[in-house]
Amino acid sequence: MNALCYVSLLLWAISLTQCSRILGVFPSSGYSQFILCEKLMAELARRGHEVTVISAYKPKEDITNYKTILTDGLVKETEENMFLLEDITALNSIVFFYKFGLFLTEYILSHQEVQGVIHSNETFDLVIVEQFGNEAHMGFSRHFGAHLILFSSIGLTEWNSHLVGNTRLLSNEPILFTPYTNRMSFFQRLHNTIINILDTLYKHLFVFPQQQELLTKYFPNKIHLDEIIYNASLLLLNSHPSTNHPSFLTSSIVEIGGFHITSKSLPGDIQKSLDEAKDGAILFSMGSNLKMSHLPNHTLNAILNVFSKLKHRVLWKFDGSSIQSKPNNVLISKWLPQSDILAHPNTVAFVTHGGLLSTTEAVFYGVPMVGIPIFGDQKMNVARSVQKGIAVYLPFKGLSEVTLYGAISEILNNPKYKQNSKRYSDILRDRPVKPLDLATYWIEYVIKHGGASHLRNASLDLNWFQLYLLDVVGVLALLVVVLYFFIKLLCVKIYVILKNNTKNKSSKDRATKKRN
Ligand SMILES: *[C@@H]1O[C@H](CO)[C@@H](O)[C@H](O)[C@H]1NC(C)=O
Ligand SMILES: *[C@@H]1O[C@H](CO)[C@@H](O)[C@H](O)[C@H]1NC(C)=O
Ligand SMILES: *[C@@H]1O[C@H](CO)[C@@H](O)[C@H](O)[C@H]1NC(C)=O
């Protein structure tokens, strides 16, 4: 324990029991995932813990107690035209993301500096792993003899739920990559069930063996995947019923959606632009992974034509080179403080790809959305927002001047979107504890209670046929069969006895008749 840590200990003595050494493994190359990572890990550092973070970005300013192991080469490697993913089926998406996960896993593990940490004499009390198809990264916890906490930037999914023994009912939990909500039709449930089964098979037959190979290759001591992936003390989800939907959650799952939102003041020019937007302002951003330079020309032109017809101020996160003939009411910038723009009272609509972070920020500030989802969980997020009456879905394929203008007009002119947005904003804000405080409380709780094994769900120690009571159902079915044959036999016996009786009786009757 160094001096600084000791001072912090005194400062935070009320809430804190000890200063711990925490390793954060955040493999994602997306900047939005890093926003979540930085917020969480910086808060732990602020509370006096010594934090080391493996990530593709680092904080803009130095943070005390916060050290980055930078894997930024990843960002270049993953720059692809993500618009091309719009068309692929749920099944293809599953395979695509598991392959991507394997790529990320190996990239991080083979990284020179990461290997440096693995082979150093550093120690950690706790490892926090962002869950992204990167099971082998949970090996850090075994390697360092540290407790394990999982973090998911996309909420409860088939990627993480089973890791803490949580039950996901397929009747109301759609798989990622589908545009389904928690209310599914018969055919949606059928599709959802089949895809879930294929996902589970693919994971166990193809993904896990490869994750095991990476574990064996990059950690000095043999680690068995089975022993580490079901041993997390806690699963933190970046979700909330106001942005996702209500779910069954076991005791070791904590929802902290919205924890990354903090209000900051806007840069002068944006503040001025928004203040002056007497007719309201519209924010247009497709997030950090979708590049405007990949937009087809006809789509770009359609967007520009629609914006030029609006009397609103438009703020557009645009990463391409400049736009020819940009309308006067449009302000473009490579980077925009999205959350704080949504917070401005003049912002009336948000045209978005429907990423969970963007959705959460829009819900938090009560801004209705036009959702143009492309890949990953975006279609599902937009479907949920449509279900809540806070968004209009606009398919990217066939996006035209008419459809975009129609969607924006609907959001602006139909008051139900604003009313619903206000309602869900109130719901997201009405929490007994601030979500960031909730997150750090539970993280420190795990350290304090030595891994919190009392929260571990017993279903983790059952076979799949025990878990789904298939053994019990089997025995009950057998009983029914036995009972059926028993009753049948009994009926036959009774029938025979009765028949014999009547036969005897009638022959007796005949004999009596004869005698008479
Ligand atoms: C690790 O070991 C080296 C020598 O083997 C020592 O100089 C260094 O201080 C140690 N570092 C830590 C963090 O214990
Ligand atoms: C599982 O987690 C507990 C609590 O953190 C820890 O004590 C135990 O060593 C872990 N087991 C394995 C195999 O890593
Ligand atoms: C789009 O427009 C730019 C410049 O106007 C041109 O260089 C490019 O070839 C066009 N792309 C397509 C796919 O038409």
Atom nearest to 123 CA in ligand 1: 13
For position 404, what pLDDT does the model report?
A: 97
pLDDT tens profile 369-378:
999 999 999 9
Say if residue 14's pLDDT is above 50. Answer: no
**Amino acid, res. 491:** C
Q: Closest Cα partner for 41 from 254, 260, 250, 235?
A: 260
Domains of the chain in sequence order: 18-259+434-466 (3.40.50.2000), 268-429 (3.40.50.2000)
pLDDT tens profile 92-121:
999 999 999 999 999 999 999 999 999 999
What is the CA(324)–ligand 3 centre distance, in A? 12
pLDDT tens profile 76-95:
776 778 888 888 899 999 99
In this structure, the strands spanning 313-317 and 50-55 are unpaired
pLDDT tens profile 148-159:
999 999 999 999
Say if residue 7's pLDDT is above 80. Answer: no
pLDDT tens profile 232-273:
999 999 999 999 999 999 999 999 999 999 999 999 999 999
- Mean pLDDT of all residues in the chain? 93
Residues with CB under 6 A from ligand 2: 142, 147, 227-228, 231, 233, 451, 453
Atom nearest to 227 CA in ligand 2: 13
For position 413, what pLDDT does the model report?
A: 97
For position 284, what pLDDT does the model report?
A: 97
Closest ligand by atom to 145 CA: 2
Atom nearest to 148 CA in ligand 2: 5
Gap between the Cα atoms of 107 and 364, Å rounded: 35
What is the CA(296)–ligand 3 centre distance, in A? 8
Atom nearest to 122 CA in ligand 1: 13
Mean pLDDT of 279-297: 91
pTM for the predicted model, two decimal places: 0.90
Gap between the Cα atoms of 140 and 15, Å rounded: 27
Cβ(153)–Cβ(376) below 8 Å = no
For position 503, what pLDDT does the model report?
A: 81
For position 87, what pLDDT does the model report?
A: 85
Give, for ligand 1, the residue of 52, 119, 121 to mutate: max count of ligand atoms closer than 8 Å to Cβ: 121
With vertex at residue 330, the alpha carbon angle to CA 325 and CA 334, rounded to the nearest 5 degrees, is: 95
What is the CA(85)–ligand 3 centre distance, in A? 21
- CA-nearest residue, atom 7 of ligand 1: 121
CB of 122 closer than 6 angstroms to any ligand 1 atom: yes
Q: Which residue has the tokens 């699963």?
A: 235
Q: Which of 217-221, 404-408, 429-433, 503-507 has the lowest mean pLDDT?
A: 503-507
Gap between the Cα atoms of 78 and 30, Å rounded: 9
- CA-nearest residue, atom 14 of ligand 1: 121
Q: How far is CA 10 from the centre of its chain?
A: 36
